A and B are shown apart, each in its own frame.
Chain A
Amino acid sequence: MPGPWKAELFTMSDAPLKTLPDKQAVLAELSGHPAVKAILDWDSEALKKAKVDRGELTLTVVPEEIVAACQTLRAAGYNFFEDMTAVDWLPQSPRYQLSYHLLSHRLKERIRLCALLDDPDPAIESITSVWAGANYYEREVFDLFGVHFQGHPNLRRILMPDDWTGHPLRKDYPVEGYR
C-alpha cells in the first residue's frame, strides 16, 4: 500500500498538482518515497537531478550507472518496465535525454528515470539484462536516434529499412527526409 506521502502529494484529482523544482526540494520533501529512498541508499552520488512536475517524479542518474539504477528500483518495487524513449535537445549539451518509465504494480505508481548522453558517440549500457522487454524499445531508439546500447542481444534497425541512412527522430533530420 502507498505510504502517507502519497495522499498529500499525488492525488491527481486535486488541482493544482504540487511541483518540486529541483533535487534539494525533492530530497527534503520526498526522502520517504520508495524510489528516492532506494536510490539514496544505493548511491547518492549517482543521482544527478530530481524533480516533481505535474505530479510526476523524474530522477536523473549518471548514464554509466543505468543498469544498477534499474536493478535498485526493481528491488524497490518498480517491477515493470513500461516504456523507454529519447528526446533530442539539439543544440543543447548534453544532447540526448533517455527517459525510462518504470511502473510498480504494487505501489500503483510510475516514475521516470532519465539519463543524459552527448555526441559524438551516444552510448549507454543496455538494460535488457534487467528487463528483457526493453529489447524492442532500445532497438527503436537506436534506429530513430542513433544511440548505441552496449550489450544488447540484437541491436539493429527495427522500424526503418536496414539500409536506411540517418536517424529520423533527430532534430537535424528534416521532416520530409533527405531528398
Chain B
Amino acid sequence: MVDVGTPILEVPEAQGTEGQHMILNMGPQHPSTHGVLRLVLEIDGEIVVRLYPEIGYLHTGIEKTCEAKFYQQVVPLTDRIDYLGPMANNLCYALAVEKLLELEIPPKGQWMRVLLAELTRLNSHLIWLGTHAMDIGALTVFLYTFREREDILRLFEAIAGQRMMTSYIRIGGLSMEPPLGWLDRLQAFIKGLPEKIDEYSNLLTGNPIFINRLKGVGYLSQEDAIALGVTGPVARASGIDFDVRRDMPYCGYEKFQFQVPVSSDCDVWARYLLRLQEMRESIKIIQQALDGMPEGRVTADAPKIVLPDREKMKTQMEALIHHFKIVTEGFAVPAGEVYQCIESGHGLMGYYVVSDGTAKPYRVHMRYPGFATLQALETMCQGRLIADVVAVIGSIDIVLGEIDR
C-alpha cells in the first residue's frame, strides 16, 4: 500500500477578539441543510465571520464502484448521485459513452431524451421551490409543489417503472418505447402547469416577508462566480450568460427555441425569479418536443450494444445470442477519453469517461455543479446574519448526493 503522508488536519479556531467570536456547529442533521451538509460557522454575535463546509457524509465511492462494473451496469449507479434529477444523470453518462462508441441515436430517441431531461429539470426545480420556501418559513408552497411533483413521478413510473431511480435513458437510446397514451398524459400535465407556476408565484413573489428575506441576500459577483467555478442558475443570476443547452448544444437542443434567462442582481431573489422563468422555458421545450415528435425507433441500430426487444429475443436466435453476450460479457468500448457535459437542473454536469478498450470503464469521473457551487457559500454568507445562511443554502439548490458521490 502506498501512502504519501498523513493528511493535514485543521480544526478551525476562532481568530477574532478573544471571547467575542465563537464557533457554531450547524448540521449534519439540520433540517435546512437538505441532507447531510455540516457547516462550521465562526460568528460574531449574529454575524457570520467565516464558514467551513464539511462534506463527505454521503460519500459512497461511486467512482470506484464504476470501475468494477460493465458500462451498462453503471447506468443505475448514476441515478443515485443527483437523486432529484435521475434522467439528467442517465443522459450525461449515456452521451459520454456514446461519444466513445461514436454511436448515433435516431431522432425520436433524441427528442424523447430532451423531453425527459426537461421534465427532470421541472422535477428538480419544483423540489427546490418547495424546500426553499419552507426554509424561509412559507410552508404552504411545499404542499403545492409536491402535488405537481407527484404528477411528474407518476409519469416517470408509467414510462420507466420507477418513480425516482428511473435508469430509463440507456447507452444507445432508451430502455423501451414510451407506453401507449403516455405522451397524451404528459400533454395534459404540461397544459395545466403554467397556471400552477402562476399560483406559486402569487404565493411568494408579492409576499413582503419573502421579499425581505431574499432581496440583497447572498451577493455573489460575476468575477467571484467565474473564479469559484459556479454554474447554472446561480451563475446566470450573477450575470454569466452561458447555458450549455444553447451554447454547446448536445442531443439535438439546437433544434429547439427557448430563452436563457439572465439576471445581474446577483442575489437570492434573482435566483428565485430566474428559476421560475426557467421552469416556464422548460415547459416550452417540452411542448415543442411533443408537437414535433418524430416517428421511428428510440434506440440505435447497434445489436451488440443495445439489448434486443423482448419479442425478438424469444423468437430470433441471433437476438438471443446478442442478449446473452451483452448481459454476461458486456461490450468492449474503444480506448480513449471523453468529457461530456450537459445542463442539469443545478448547472453544468460533466462526465469524464476513460476507456482502456475493455468492457469496463477504466475511470469515470463526475463533475457535479453543487461541488463547485458549495465553495462559493462562504463568499455569499460572510458578513451576513446566520438566518441568511439558510436562505443562501436554499438558493444554491444543494443536493448532497451529487456533492459527495
Contact = CB atoms under 8 A, between A and B. Distances in A.
B153 interface: no
B226 A160 contact: no
Interface stretch (A38-46, A63-71, A163-171): A163-171
A17 interface: yes
Contacts of A58: 337
Nearest to A141: B365
Contacts of A133: 227-230, 372, 375
A108 B63 contact: no
Given A135-B375, A146-B3, A56 B367 contact: no
Interface string B352-366: 101000000011010
B1 A178 contact: yes
A15 B300 CA distance: 15
Interface string A132-147: 1111110000111010
Contacts of B64: 168-169, 173, 175
Give the size category of B's interface with A.
Answer: 35 or more
Interface in B257-309: none
A79 interface: yes
A17 B101 CA distance: 12
Contacts of B336: 53-54
A172 interface: yes
Interface in B133-148: none
Given A56-B338, A105-B240, A178-B1, A158 B229 contact: no
A51 B393 CA distance: 41
A85 B3 CA distance: 19
A143 B248 CA distance: 32
A134 B371 CA distance: 11
A162 interface: yes
B236 to A, nearest CB: 12
A142 B3 CA distance: 11
A142 B99 CA distance: 29
Given A122-B4, A170-B2, A83 B227 contact: no
B339 interface: yes
Interface string A113-143: 0000001111000000001111111000011
Contacts of A155: 8
A157 to B, nearest CB: 5
A134 B336 CA distance: 25
B4 A146 contact: yes
B350 interface: yes
Given A83-B365, A146-B4, A110 B339 contact: yes
B65 A158 contact: no
The 6 closest A-B pairs by CB, nearest first: A133-B229, A83-B367, A85-B365, A133-B228, A159-B56, A159-B59
Given A105-B240, A110-B248, A122-B4, 18 more contacts: A53-B337, A82-B341, A82-B350, A99-B337, A101-B350, A108-B247, A120-B2, A133-B229, A136-B372, A156-B8, A156-B10, A157-B56, A160-B59, A164-B7, A166-B3, A169-B64, A172-B1, A178-B1
